[in-house]
Structure 1
């Protein structure tokens, strides 16, 4: 399950809470494209902004509409007790995997993060992906901590935040981490611009924001890398550089992807939880130009 393309869809909001028809439309695109897994309630799914009942509803919609595609559910929360609540809910709903970030307000220490994963690992029967993304969590994992966590039961994958620009350094980075963790634990790259670089360097999965909206080009990159077509994967990923540039301009991928989904009519306007805002009119025109140039629809 923690291999190939894992697509992270939005959790679109409407005036009355979760926009269920819009979420179902996003799920249908992923099912039709036959992505390798679907991760609901990741960062793109705005888990940190949703009420418990909204998270529960997204969880059940994801499982219900995924057909035969494995569903991973994000279970991050500020307290361990809350995390355990979401773990139980995801298991009861039929999720096949969990994604856990070390979410915090007070900065966490290594021992606290290890204890979080230890507690959850012993409370679940389904595999768990360790979410390593210091941009959103403000916590930086060391390889030593990754190795300690990876030896816990039910740990299935580590989601790393990217790889170095130099291909040789990327390979070395992935090899260094894999040498310290059990063979059954996969390593997945996140950060869409790093996709081909990470997959070509030996990552087993791509945890993908763009894959949650545009699965076909994302699958093309993934399949090329899986086939050993290093240059093709890199070319396909580099062709999307105008989109990666927009990510940088707008503080990450979320606002861009949400605005793209709105422009394509897949979700309603103002689909993000306040105070988050999608792009303004001028920025949307620039995004539209990029989508047209890249033939993304």
Structure 2
């Protein structure tokens, strides 16, 4: 794996914290969509919401050295356009020089941690639009979870709309990841039925004073055959989110096939995938990333 020296990163952060802004200022930028017309983004915003597990390894993503090394491998693979993460991870990658000529997508939330009493109080707790503009980053991403039985979802809708407005004011794309969710035995779950995903797309597409800079980040439905009808709900460009993949090689192959089919739809412009590529079943990050790129 690409070698990362945690000691060097810590020394820079202790002695010269201004190095983060300096690295952002000299980063070589690129258009959001490259020559091939598709978008392949590696997602690594899981730790900031306390989601550290990969399969049966409860704290796999808690090892920052391992995560950074895996990210560096993924970002070096041909066809990988960029990365989605929170400030702590993106700043490490900036200091490592790993973000030149890459799309840098800042995660804007979430405060509603899984399993917490305040789980649906999804306030924006990471990047703001002004932060992304100041750093010269290329896009933002936010999560929109809607529970029809939770009055707090109205505040989530309102704050999401204003965040989209703020991003549009800076002419920055924002990737909205909408879910209809509900509680089952006290646990919040995302509804991945075709009906629920269709409704979430319709709601997200109509938020804010403009949709000019809005992209959608959409899960593949429980039945992949429904995706054609689901994606007819909006003309906004969309990317597929990878989601959790089972712990076997067969599970990984089934995920690839689901993505392959949905990528043929006209509004689907690419993939945003995290754990299943950074922590593949066979441990070969480069091969997993190359396979996903090949689907595009």
What TM-score, normalized by structure 2, do the two folds share? Answer: 0.54
Distance 1:129 1:137 in 2: 22
Distance 1:206 1:81 in 2: 25
Distance 2:286 2:142 in 1: 27
Distance 2:126 2:290 in 1: 36
Cα shift at 1:139? 5.3
> Which residue, out of 54, 60, 74, partners 1:30?
74
Does the CA-based 8 Å contact 1:126-1:154 persist in structure 2?
A: yes
Distance 2:231 2:70 in 1: 33
Gaps of 5+ in 1: 42-55, 227-297
> Which residue, out of 205, 212, 221, partners 1:163?
221
Cα shift at 1:22? 5.3
Further displaced range: 142-151 or 173-182? 142-151
Distance 1:93 1:137 in 2: 35
Runs of 4+ in 1 over 6 A off after TM superposition: 103-106
What per-residue deviation string (whole Å, max 9, x for no partner) do you get for residues 34-69 of structure 1? 32321114xxxxxxxxxxxxxx33333345522212
1:187–1:25 Cα change, 3 Å: closer
Aligned to 1:70: 103
Aligned to 1:148: 203
Aligned to 2:260: 200
Q: CA RMSD in A?
A: 3.8
Cα shift at 1:120? 0.9
Report matched runs for 1:1-297 at 5 Å: 1=32, 3-9=38-44, 24-34=68-78, 35-41=80-86, 56-63=87-94, 65-78=98-111, 82-83=124-125, 86-102=128-144, 107=150, 111-124=154-167, 125-132=171-178, 138=189, 140=191, 142-151=197-206, 152-160=211-219, 162-164=220-222, 169-171=223-225, 173-182=226-235, 184-191=236-243, 192=245, 193=252, 195-203=255-263, 204=268, 205-208=270-273, 209-213=275-279, 214-226=284-296
Does the CA-based 8 Å contact 1:195-1:206 persist in structure 2?
A: no
Does the CA-based 8 Å contact 1:36-1:69 persist in structure 2?
A: yes
Gaps of 5+ in 2: 1-31, 51-61, 112-120, 246-251
What TM-score, normalized by structure 1, do the two folds share? Answer: 0.54
1:139–1:117 Cα change, 3 Å: farther
Which structure is higher in helix share? 1
SS at match of 1:5: strand
Distance 2:99 2:42 in 1: 12
